[in-house]
Amino acid sequence: MGIRQTGDLWWKNAVFYCLDVETYQDGDGDGIGDFKGLLRRLDHLEGLGVTCLWLMPFYPSPDRDDGYDIADYYGVDPRLGTLGDFVDVMRAARERGMRVIADLVVNHTSVAHPWFQASRSDPESPYRDWYVWRDEVPKDGPDGIVFPDKEDSNWQWDEKAKQYYLHRFYKSQPDLDIANPKVREEICRIVGFWLELGLSGFRVDAVPFLIETAGIDKPGDFAPHGWLRDLRAFINRRRGEAILMGEVNLMPEDVRRFFGDEDGDELHMCLNFNLNQAMALSLARGDTGPLLHSLQTQPSIAPEDQWANFIRNHDEWSLDKLTEAEREEAFKAFGPKDSMQLFGRGLRRRLPTMLDGDQDRIRTAYALAFALPGSPVLFYGEEIGMAENLDIPGRMSVRSPMQWLPGPSGGFSTAPPDKLHRPIVGGRKWGPSAVNVADQLRDPGSLLTWMSGLLRVRRATPELGFGKVSVLPVESGAVVALAHDWEDRTLLTFHNLGEAPVTVEAKPPGAADWEGLITVLGEGEAKLAKDGTVTVELGRYGHRWLNAARPGDVFRR
Ligand code: NOJ
């Protein structure tokens, strides 16, 4: 894969940015974010250096799970605008060189969806077998409850149908029967529809649940992974550049399966929950052990596929793959109060509050996330160091309105704070008077200014998206030292997870032939000795990215 073709595999070097239209920018003063508002904020995203937006569900919905309960797959929630407003955003994003993907939530619909209403009301309805109905709760049903705060079973008795229906999430989200070919055909129509309107792919919600057949009475010859393969082939027939980014929070080997066999012909990307959770533990301990172990045992994927790396997302920071003792350690460091934890498995906080607003620590955490092999995904507000609002219940604590300006409604809306869709973060430390886009834009030392620099460097560093990563042994247990090789380029990245400043020595293979080192990110001394030893000084929670200067390389930075 040469530099000429990197654009063909755009997702391998993209910077994704996830946002919820509902909480991003209100354009009509009703307290709810909308597409008209988002349109006005695309310049911010372009300036930040985002290359692909990920829109959380914006479809008509009774909103019992923040839009992850869809009542119509072919429309826009009227509170957020119209299809016309959506297309305006698509057009303006394209004009600014940004792609757009959106959540595809087809494991389940809302109970309010007309399919479900027809299905439950009439055994003869053509939609009856679009859902999973059983006379009794079956023994072979799926295990585990996803939202144990509200649910104690995956089955709900329905008075109208006089049967139980399957729901892996809330009972207001009945599961579709994926083994039914008509359901699968409809999913293709849905993705085809949005591809036609310009989407470059989908973040596929809850993929393991979507393809599971446990609980389905007669799954017939449905082949779960065969179908994922078909879905990828379908979207790429319709639109060559379209991708599927899957939410697959399973153990590493099980996630690997969702990329497909050797040729990697199922999901193009998987959100990297394992590396994310290992990073949480490493950050909490100030010790690289868990992260490096995860990185070194991460299964390899096909050249056209990619990991999607992130620190925080729109849900709780799930630490379900850690051992109980490890999880307790992370809880103690980052969310000691019960009110900060959720489901016993995660933290409902954003990173800056967990790191007590420590700028060195915050920046090194993001630099590290961007240096891990894969493509980074930011969650809105991370670029300015927004906090969570723990007054908002459950997972929604991190989905408070974006903070654009100082002032009570943070420039999110002209409506007063008590009329906002969700309460904004309050207080003098984290509220909009202290944390907002406008002030940070004018401040060369702000997180936003730094973050835009990080994105600029990341975009110009295909070594990270396309290269081969190797761990460089160093003496300090607090420093992650990596070499990223791609084509004739090598990038070295150093991240100090510890409070103490440290000087490390590394010996990247072949470095004795280099002419020097060029700093692309971070500050401090860095030296290359004749024998190829690289010596790097790192401040407390410091980081450094260095490019190898090879003889005759005119493209060095
Ligand atoms: C995963 C999403 O990230 C979460 O927010 C949602 O509640 C469930 N899937 C159900 O759709």
Residue 552: predicted pLDDT: 84
Residue 208: predicted pLDDT: 98
Q: How far is CA 474 from CA 253, 494, 508, 541, in A?
A: 28, 10, 11, 16
d(CA 163, CA 150): 21
d(CA 489, CA 476): 26
Q: Any bridge partners for residue 537, and if so which?
A: 503
- Please tell me the distance between residue 145's alpha carbon and the centre of ligand 1 in angstroms: 13
206 lines ligand 1 (CB under 6 A): yes
Query: Are the beta carbons of 502 and 478 closer than 8 angstroms?
Result: yes
Residue 553: predicted pLDDT: 80
Angle at 393 between CA 392 and CA 396, to 5 degrees: 70
Consecutive 10-residue averages of pLDDT for the chain (557 residues): 81 98 98 98 98 99 98 98 98 98 99 98 97 96 93 97 98 98 98 98 98 95 98 98 98 97 94 98 98 97 97 98 98 98 96 98 98 98 98 98 97 98 97 98 98 97 96 98 95 98 98 96 94 98 96 72
Which of 69, 205, 305, 485 is catalytic? The answer is 205
58 lines ligand 1 (CB under 6 A): no
310 lines ligand 1 (CB under 6 A): no
> Is 247 labeled as catalytic in the residue annotation?
yes
Residue 555: predicted pLDDT: 64
Atom of ligand 1 nearest to the CA of 313: 3
Atom of ligand 1 nearest to the CA of 68: 11
Atom of ligand 1 nearest to the CA of 107: 11
Which of the 8 DSSP states describes residue 468? E
d(CA 32, CA 67): 13
553 lines ligand 1 (CB under 6 A): no
Atom of ligand 1 nearest to the CA of 108: 11
68 lines ligand 1 (CB under 6 A): yes
Query: Are the beta carbons of 472 and 67 closer than 8 angstroms?
Result: no
Supply the residue whose CA is at minimum distance from atom 5 of ligand 1. 315
Q: Which amino acid is at 397?
A: S
Atom of ligand 1 nearest to the CA of 170: 10
Q: How far is CA 186 from CA 182, 209, 405, in A?
A: 6, 18, 43
Residue 5: predicted pLDDT: 77
- Please tell me the distance between residue 103's alpha carbon and the centre of ligand 1 in angstroms: 10
Question: If you compute the radius of gyration of the chain from its CA atoms, what whole number of angstroms results?
Answer: 24
**Residue from 22, 166, 205 whose mutation best tests the ligand 1 pocket (most atoms within 8 A of CB):** 205
d(CA 54, CA 34): 15
pLDDT digits (tens, 9 = 90+) for 382-422: 999 999 999 999 999 999 999 999 999 999 999 999 999 99
Maximum separation of any 2 CA atoms in the chain, in Å: 80
- Please tell me the distance between residue 137's alpha carbon and the centre of ligand 1 in angstroms: 24
d(CA 39, CA 86): 9
Which of 34, 177, 247, 316 is catalytic? The answer is 247
pLDDT digits (tens, 9 = 90+) for 31-60: 999 999 999 999 999 999 999 999 999 999
205 lines ligand 1 (CB under 6 A): yes
